[in-house]
């Protein structure tokens, strides 16, 4: 059993990034709500605890509840941002409103004469006075940036070492893990695969399992893992809604037809298009597509007879975002919600539910899936339907597929392509000239972003020569397009997707 580091969540947006940073260092991590009782923490037997950031004031009415005894357990603790302020407040220090807020990159200077470094800050409250027995170890021009009580192994940093924007942030986390918590670095994905295969075999025994295969990274890796654990007893239903990118449906079928499983492809494109006729509002599109997927999947499942187990590609962030223990619900993590009860499944199998996305990708490669699939860019469940502004039609889908294929083909030729890129079919028309004729055709927008975590991103600075080539190819090769524009908006204030 691997050693565990506990990440206590106080509502910070970077909780998953913290937990991933710990796992990437070879140490297993779990996320629990900040109110977890000290006795439950003790029972978990973590080698260390990390307190996350959060949006509230530790002294305010909306502060997340906590068990102050966690600081008396003798377990090393690293408080980050709000976590540092909580440590300060509970242990007798002073926390209050700072004279100025610190947001973005801020210069931090160690008190021991070390070299100043840039760190990501996002706070208005500050630690005005450290608790008794604590030493200030770094400061900004305005505030305390870090403190420690080395004897009790309690440490606090006002900045975010888990982000790429903090210089030496990874080293700070590794120092806490290995020098303070004496971590062995014994967490390995090979062990995860072996354990899950054994668990699946013990649970399923000689029965069959049904999986809704979307072709995304999570469901694909789930299918590969199950086919290894229970060869030829996994039934994969691929509901092809017709909104995949060029050639993707055929590629998914080719890959999984070669696996030890029963692959069923349901070509439901016309059915989905009929349901979307006249629909222009993005959220309504999403809802309709989700509902229709469930209907199609349910119909196919009934044709297959009695299958006791339903498998889903749920991953750890899905569980964290769907509330977990006392957490706020961001989204439901069941990708076929309601089906277990309606179709009488004995149990739901979620073999990836302990993994983050980057770990799922690595598992996929270890299971023999091609890199083109396991490192596939994020692609929304509704697919191209929400990259088409306005009503979705067969003609618009064909236009967007061809334009998107050109964008992908050109950018994939680069040695280091952007983190994500795609085309959007806008609902704007523009005057153009082709030959001697005046045209009034659609505008295609190209979106390409650079990011480490997709929580924030910047537009990718693609060379103008390449943008010109993409534009020329789209306007020459795709009928009905007269103009191409490039989206240069960051996230925030925009999102990666247009809808």
Catalytic option among 16, 33, 81, 333: 81
Q: Would you say 158 and 127 are in contact if contact means Cβ atoms under 8 Å apart?
A: yes
Would you call 209 helix, strand, or coil by DSSP?
Answer: strand
Burial status of residue 468 (CB atoms within 10 A of its CB: 0-12, 13-18, 19 or more): exposed
204-209-215-221 Cα dihedral, nearest 10 degrees: 10
Sign of the C-alpha dihedral, residues 163, 168, 170, 176? negative
- Tokens describing residue 477: 């090769």
CB 386 within 8 A of CB 405: no
List 162, 248, 292, 300, catalytic entry = 162
From the list 123, 127, 148, 160, the catalytic residue is 160
Q: Is 162 a catalytic residue?
A: yes
Which residue is it, tokens 């999570």?
A: 218
List all residues 6 or more positions away from 97 whose beta carbon is below 8 Å from its beta carbon: 124, 125, 126
Distances (CA, A) of 475 to 185, 421, 463, 482, 483: 53, 18, 19, 6, 7
- E strands, 215-275, where? 234-240, 262-267
The sheet that has 347-349: what strands, in order across it? Answer: 262-267, 234-240, 209-212, 309-311, 347-349
HEC states along 320-386? HHCCCCCCCCCCCCCCCCCHHHHCCCCEEECCCCCCCHHHHHHHHHHCCCCHHHHCCCCCCCCHHHH
Closest CA to 202 of 347, 336, 345: 347
Structure tokens at 449: 């972003």
Q: Is 181 a catalytic residue?
A: no
Phi-psi region at 177: left, alpha or beta (left = phi > 0; alpha = psi -120 to 50): alpha
Q: Are 328 and 231 in contact (CB under 8 A)?
A: no
Which residues partner with 421 through β-bridges? Answer: 448
Strand partners, 123: 102
DSSP character string of 79-120: EETHHHHHHHHHTT-EEEEEEEEEEEEEEEEETTSPPPEEEE
Told to judge if 241 belongs to the known catalytic residues of this protein, a careful annotator would answer: no
107 neighbors 140 (Cβ within 8 angstroms): yes
The distance from CA 51 to its chain's CA centroid, rounded to whole angstroms, is 20
Helix (H) or strand (E) holding 271: helix 269-276
Q: What amino acid positions are annotated as catalytic residues?
A: 81, 160, 162
């Amino acid at each position: 059993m691997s050693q565990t580091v506990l990440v206590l969540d106080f509502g910070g947006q970077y909780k998953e990034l913290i937990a991933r940073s710990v796992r990437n260092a070879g140490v297993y991590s779990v996320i629990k709500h900040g109110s977890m009782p000290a006795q439950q923490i003790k029972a978990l037997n973590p080698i260390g605890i990390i307190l996350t950031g959060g949006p509230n004031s530790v002294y305010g009415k909306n502060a997340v509840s906590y068990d102050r005894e966690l600081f008396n357990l003798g377990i090393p603790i690293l408080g980050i941002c709000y976590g540092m302020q909580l440590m300060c407040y509970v242990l007798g220090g002073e926390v209050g409103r700072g004279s100025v807020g610190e947001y973005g990159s801020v210069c931090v200077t160690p008190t021991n004469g070390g070299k100043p470094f840039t760190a990501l800050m996002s706070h208005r409250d500050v630690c005005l006075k450290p608790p008794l027995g604590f030493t200030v170890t770094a400061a900004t021009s305005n505030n305390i940036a870090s403190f420690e009580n080395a004897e009790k192994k309690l440490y606090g940093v006002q900045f975010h070492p888990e982000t790429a924007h903090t210089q030496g942030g990874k080293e700070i986390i590794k120092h806490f893990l290995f020098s303070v918590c004496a971590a062995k670095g014994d967490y390995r994905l090979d062990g995860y695969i072996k354990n899950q295969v054994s668990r699946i075999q013990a649970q399923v025994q000689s029965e069959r399992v049904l999986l809704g295969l979307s072709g995304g990274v999570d469901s694909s890796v789930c299918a590969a893992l199950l086919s290894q654990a229970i060869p030829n007893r996994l039934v994969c239903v691929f509901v092809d809604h017709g909104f995949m990118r060029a050639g993707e449906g055929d590629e998914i079928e080719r890959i999984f037809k070669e696996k030890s499983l029963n692959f069923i492809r349901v070509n439901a494109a016309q059915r989905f298009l009929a349901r979307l006729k006249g629909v222009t509002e993005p959220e309504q599109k999403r809802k309709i597509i989700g509902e229709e997927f469930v209907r199609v999947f349910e119909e196919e499942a009934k044709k297959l007879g009695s299958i006791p187990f339903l498998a889903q590609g749920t991953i750890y962030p899905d569980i964290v975002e769907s509330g977990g223990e006392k957490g706020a619900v961001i989204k439901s993590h069941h990708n076929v919600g309601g089906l277990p009860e309606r179709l009488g499944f004995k149990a739901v199998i979620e073999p990836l539910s302990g993994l983050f996305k980057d770990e799922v990708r690595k598992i996929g490669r270890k299971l023999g899936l091609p890199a083109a699939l396991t490192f596939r860019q994020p692609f929304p469940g509704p697919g191209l339907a929400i990259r088409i502004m306005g009503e979705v039609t067969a003609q618009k889908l064909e236009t967007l597929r061809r334009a998107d294929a050109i964008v992908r083909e050109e950018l994939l030729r680069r040695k280091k392509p952007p983190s994500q890129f795609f085309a959007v079919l806008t609902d704007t028309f523009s005057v153009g000239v082709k030959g001697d004729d005046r045209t009034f055709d659609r505008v295609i927008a190209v979106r390409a972003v650079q990011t480490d975590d997709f929580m924030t991103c910047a537009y990718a600075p693609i060379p103008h020569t390449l943008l010109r080539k993409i534009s020329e190819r789209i306007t020459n090769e795709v009928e009905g397009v007269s103009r191409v524009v490039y989206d240069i908006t960051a996230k925030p204030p925009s999102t990666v997707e247009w809808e």
